[in-house]
Amino acid sequence: MRIVTTIAEVREAVRQARHAGQRIGFVPTMGYLHEGHLTLMRQARSEAGFVVVSIFVNPTQFGPNEDFARYPRDLERDEALCASVSVDLLFHPAVEEIYPQPFRTSVKVAGLTDRLCGASRPGHFDGVATVVSKLFNIVKPDVAYFGQKDAQQVAVIQRMVADLNLDLEIVPVPTVREPDGLAMSSRNTYLSPAERQAALVLSRSLAMARDLVMAGERNMSALAAAIRAMIAEEPLAEIDYVEIVDYAALQPVERLERRALAALAVRFGKTRLIDNITLEPS
C-alpha cells in the first residue's frame, strides 16, 4: 500500500492505474477506522482493480461548538487497517492541501439538507458536499462507497452527483453494527460504559418501529411517537430529533405508502449519535 499526502501524487497514481485498465474504487473517510469502514473497503476491493482511501478530518463540516479538535485520530492504526484489506493508495492530506487560502467556493445541495441533521447542524452538509466534490475531482473514481448509517449524507451526495453530471457511481453499503446492535461509529469511543449501554436504546427503538410496521402500523406520526417514547425512557438519552421521511426526498410522510426512512439523532452526555432504518409498506 502506498501512502501519499498531495493531490499531485494521487492524480499520478490513479492515472497509472487507469492506464493499466483498472477500475478505480474510492472510500472517503475521516479516519479512526472501524469495521464499518473496512466493510466499504472490502466491497471496493471486490469490485475495483485499484482502491483509494482518503483520511481527512474535514473542518468545514464541523460547527463552531462541535468536536473537530477532539475528533479521534490515529493514523498509524488506520494505515495498518487499510493495509489489512489490501487498499492500494491511502491519501492523507493536510488541511492546507485541500483548502488552500483564500478558499471561497462551496457546494450546496438545496432541499435535502434542511431537515434531520441539516436542521441540527447548520452548514454541515455544505461542508460535506464541498469536500466530497473536491475529493471526487482529485481521485476521479469510477465508483465510490458510502455507509448507509449516514443515510442523509448518501442522499445528498447522490443528488450532487446527478445534478452536476459527475461521471461516477455511488454505492450505499448497509449499516454495520456491533453484536449488540449499536451502529458502528468513530464517535462511539467517546461514550462512557454507562452511556455505551444506554445507547443500545437506539437500535432497540428502530427495531421496535420495524416490528410495528410489519404488524400493520402505517401512521408515521404514531410510529415516530412510539420511537420517542422508548428513547425517553432511557435517563441518559437526550433526543435531538426522531423523524420519518420519504426515502428519496427526505420530506415528512404521514402514511407509509412507499419506502421511508426512520432516522434519529440522540445525545448521550456530550456524544451525539445517529442511526436509521428503512421502512417498507409491504
pLDDT in tens, 159-169: 999 999 999 99
User: Residue 81 — left, alpha, or beta (φ > 0 → left; ψ -120 to 50 → alpha)?
Assistant: alpha
> In this model, does residue 112 exceed pLDDT 90?
yes
Catalytic residue positions, numbered: 37
Give pTM, 2 decimals.
Answer: 0.96
Domain 186-275 has CATH 1.10.760.10: no
Mean pLDDT of the chain: 97
CA angle 232, 198, 186 (to 5 degrees): 115
Give the model's pLDDT for residue 65.
Answer: 86
Distance CA 71, CA 186 (A): 8
In tens, the pLDDT along 77-108 reads: 999 999 999 999 999 999 999 999 999 999 99
Contact (CB, 8 A) for 261 and 279: yes
> In this model, does residue 282 exceed pLDDT 90?
no
Write out the E strands in the chain: 2-4, 24-29, 50-55, 89-91, 143-147, 169-173, 237-246, 260-268, 271-279
Asked if the peptide bond before residue 102 counts as cis, ω within 30 degrees of 0, the response is yes
Which grid cell sits at 229?
A: 417514547
The pLDDT of 121-128, averaged and rounded, is 96
In tens, the pLDDT along 232-256 reads: 999 999 999 999 999 999 999 999 9
Domain 2-173 has CATH 1.20.1070.10: no
Distance CA 99, CA 32 (A): 21
Nearest-Å Rg of the Cα atoms of the chain is 19
The ranges assigned to domains in the chain are: 2-173, 186-275
